[in-house]
Amino acid sequence: MKVLVMGGSQFNGYSLVMELVKHGHEVTVLNRGRTAVDFPRSVRRLVADRTDHDQARSVLSGESFDVVQDMSAYHPDDVELMVEVFEGRVGHYIFASSTVIYAPADILPITEDHPVDRGPHQIEYGLHKLLCEDILIDAWRRRGFPATIVPFSMVFGPRNILADREQRMILRLLRGRPVLIPGDGTTVGQVGHVDDQSRALRMMMLQPQTFGKRYNLTGGTYQSDEGYVDTFAEVLGTEADKVFIPAPVMDDLWDGTLVFEEGQASPVKIDIRSSDEARANADQTRRRFKLAQLVQRLAPNLHRWNRSVVFSVDRLRTDIGWEPDYTLAAMVDHVHRWMVAEGLDQSLDLDFTFEDQIAAHVQTMQDRGHG
């Protein structure tokens, strides 16, 4: 097939390009050309800034494709342009969305029919993904534009540009650092491997049963927070120095009543009601995302630290016969081997100050008999 990948130079997009080339597809990528990347020689590269609509129209003028895999659309304007440019000139348009669109759930797993969250706690990224989906569903229903929506969730693998996820955990263990685990470590989460996800995107191409539908895309297994840490340690051949953060402390950290100021070893108790509301909300969002880096967690703006979050991938299994190959252990091994090959196990520099502050506070509590 003749396939256009919007993006293609980093992580998800690069994995998809390699998967498509491996299976003999004629691949074109369109991006700004700013990221140095060693594509196979067969890959054709178009250069344009998709946010410059006139430039993108000019570059894509006269182009037609069997499939457009859109890995870099983050705003409604991005998708409106694609529908305008490719209506009648594409057999299938696949949009990479995100599972951050979904509202918190007490009944798991979360399926594609679960309510979405457009409320005040949703961040711009999630809201804009939803607005992009709205445009595509409307175009499919009104004019038959052949679109499929694919919310990704917690993508794991080599070349991840978010080093604060699996790469951070690997560094903690390799360097013998404390590994902080929220609460008692029983909260359940889920990750998926980038290559499994690229295979799913390839398998759904030009499958008409997928038109006008949403498909969750992540791994096929789940693990507790402690199980996540233990799996990393086992694969790396290390022992995890596990520090469990008592639930009341996590609650205070999460709610912003216990904070660590920069350069300050001891936490400060604050009355969030007396803070400027806008600033307090922004600070709280930043703190929660930092706390979600302790053990890889999804959308802390929506899901509390102790809320399990699991997604169903059964619709993909049923409609295209896809099944994820990677276990969590295989994912960890793949990323570790890549980091060693790239020298990142030695050279990657991440700031662990926030973790050290929490670990010291927990130790102080235990020394005083409050742990």
Q: What is the pLDDT of residues 50-84, one digit of tens each?
A: 999 999 999 999 899 999 999 999 999 999 999 99
Q: For the chain, which residues make up each domain, given as ranges?
A: 2-162+190-221+314-318, 173-185+222-308+327-367
Q: Could you give the percent of the chain with pLDDT greater than 70?
A: 94
Q: Would you state the pLDDT for residue 365?
A: 86
Phi/psi at 221 (nearest 5 deg)? Answer: -125, 165
Cα 183–Cα 187–Cα 191 angle in degrees, nearest 5: 130
pLDDT, greater one: 370 or 192? 192
Q: Could you give the percent of the chain with pLDDT greater than 90?
A: 87
Cα 292–Cα 72–Cα 138 angle in degrees, nearest 5: 100
User: Percentages helix, strand, coil for the chain, rounded to the nearest 5?
Assistant: 40, 15, 40
- pLDDT band for position 104 (cuts 50, 70, 90): very high
pLDDT score of 366 more than 90: no
- pLDDT band for position 161 (cuts 50, 70, 90): very high
Q: Would you state the pLDDT for residue 272?
A: 46
Q: Would you state the pLDDT for residue 263?
A: 54
Token readout for 118 is 């457009």
Q: Would you state the pLDDT for residue 69?
A: 98
pLDDT, greater one: 334 or 36? 334
> Right CATH number for 2-162+190-221+314-318 from 3.10.20.30, 3.40.640.10, 3.40.50.300, 3.40.50.720?
3.40.50.720
Determine the Cα–Cα distance for residues 297 and 112; give it in Å rounded to an integer.
20
CB within 8 Å of 58: residues ≥ 6 apart:
48
Residue 126: C-alpha distances to residues 50, 106, 121, 152 (Å): 20, 20, 10, 12
Residue whose token pair is 């006139």? 54
Cα 188–Cα 189–Cα 190 angle in degrees, nearest 5: 140
CB within 8 Å of 295: residues ≥ 6 apart:
169, 180, 181, 182, 189, 225, 228, 229
Contact 295, 189 (CB under 8 A): yes
pLDDT, greater one: 268 or 5? 5
Q: Which of 117-126, 143-152, 255-264 has the lowest mean pLDDT?
A: 255-264
Determine the Cα–Cα distance for residues 66 and 207; give it in Å rounded to an integer.
11
Q: Would you state the pLDDT for residue 203?
A: 98
Token readout for 62 is 């006269």
Determine the Cα–Cα distance for residues 78 and 51; give it in Å rounded to an integer.
7
285-331 residue pLDDT tens: 889 999 999 999 999 999 999 999 999 999 999 999 999 999 999 99
Determine the Cα–Cα distance for residues 282 and 265; give it in Å rounded to an integer.
22
pLDDT, greater one: 267 or 321? 321
pLDDT, greater one: 367 or 161? 161
Q: Would you state the pLDDT for residue 5?
A: 98
Give mean pLDDT, residues 185-193. Answer: 98
Determine the Cα–Cα distance for residues 296 and 34; give it in Å rounded to an integer.
29
Give mean pLDDT, residues 243-268. Answer: 83
Asked if the bond preceding 109 is cis, omega within 30° of 0, the reply is yes
Token readout for 152 is 């990704």
**Average pLDDT of the residues of the chain:** 93
- pLDDT band for position 282 (cuts 50, 70, 90): confident
